[in-house]
Structure 1
Amino acid sequence: MTRAPQRLPSQFLGLALPLLLAACASPFHGYGVQPGTAREAVLARMGQPTRSVRLASGERLQYSLQPFGQYAWMVDLDPSGRVIRSRQVLNANDFDRIQPGWTRDDVEREFGPPAMVDRVASWNGPIMTYRWNDGSDMFYFVYLDGQNVVRRAHPGMEFHNAPDRD
């Protein structure tokens, strides 16, 4: 006995189509965006940015996968809307650029929004935390004072399902 092919429910197709279209424009396509690429082509390739930031030299499109992802691409555009450079910034070399005296705005301009902002009793100000990967799952902590000025910053390990220590 031959069975007729089963059809997918229309509800499934209604959900699948937007997901397929969203997969076409993705921040994961941030690698290899060439200098000179038009802003419209970047948006078609990567989708809407997490945030757009004005720069003295033009505009920065930020594509951040925070709070749960470990990557953030910065696509810098000149005043005519053409790519100057595109790079993934959540890495040790870029984090090393953070210096005491930077402001929260400086950090967010360079790295995008953090995964989280916390407070602890032993520090009198917010602590910005970025997730990233350096061969291991990592955090990068940026300690701000009460005026949102960076006072210190450092990496730390992110442990998943760490065993209890008895």
Structure 2
Amino acid sequence: MEAHDFTGRGARRRAVGALALGVLAMLAAGCDEQRIRELEEGTSTEADVRARFGQPENVWDEPGGARTLEYNRQPEGHQNYMVTIGPDGRMSALRQVLAPHNFAKVVPGMPMEQVRRMLGKPARKMSFALKQETAWDWRYIDPPNTPMVFTVTFDSGYHVLRSDSALELRDGR
């Protein structure tokens, strides 16, 4: 026999948990803003970046000896940062990559690895065996303050079939 919670404690617990995750995400975003203000392109070193952001999710080698450090804020956050360190060891760029101008660069036929490198680690990966497709989601904020999800669908050969953005629906709403 299934047990039911008629007191509403389960719903309250879930609501408090969701609120706590939301507060943590906002705090992390605020911390990121402070960390970004403390760094300066052309002056800050890789050690400065790592001291503020920690261990990167991934390190991508770039042409000419540069490297890009990936700082992922998925699944609860709405940003992914790519920090480029030049061959001289100094930060040459810091960008938040989850934005419509980057999503427009995702085109049919693009390899999965190229999408991963451009946007960072997704918030969620789903496989659809019958359709032989895989979908990746990234959470982002569309100005002025609309939570959105960008989805890229890949074929069985791991190439982009299509992409789309939609309003983010959380907790069944």
TM-score strictly above 0.5? yes
TM-score by length of 2: 0.72
Q: Does residue 1:60 correspond to 2:65, yes or no?
A: no
> Which residue of structure 1 aligns with residue 169 of structure 2?
159
Q: Percent identity?
A: 28
Q: Distance in 1 between matches of 2:101 and 2:87?
A: 27
Cα-to-partner distance string for 1:23-75 (whole Å, 9 max, x where unaligned) = 8xx65545343222210111112111121111224111011111121111100
Counterpart for residue 71 of structure 1: 79
Relative to total residues, which structure has the larger helix share, 1 or 2? 2
The letter of the residue matching 2:41 is P
What is the CA–CA distance in structure 2 between the aligned matches of 1:27 and 1:46, rounded to whole Å? 8
Q: Structure 1 residue runs of 4+, over 6 Å off?
A: none
Size of the aligned set, in residue pairs, is: 139
1:81 Cα offset (Å): 2.0
In structure 2, the gaps of 5 or more residues are 1-27
Structure 2 counterpart of 1:147: 157
Unaligned runs of 5+ in 1: 1-22
* RMSD (CA atoms): 2.0
Task: Report whether the alignment pairs 1:94 with 2:102.
Answer: yes
* 1:1-150 alignment, distance < 5 Å: 27-29=32-34, 31-32=36-37, 33-36=39-42, 37-57=44-64, 58-120=66-128, 123-134=131-142, 135-150=145-160
CA distance in 2, matches of 1:111, 1:117: 14
Q: Secondary structure at the match of 2:128?
A: coil
Secondary structure in structure 1 of the residue aligned to 2:133: coil
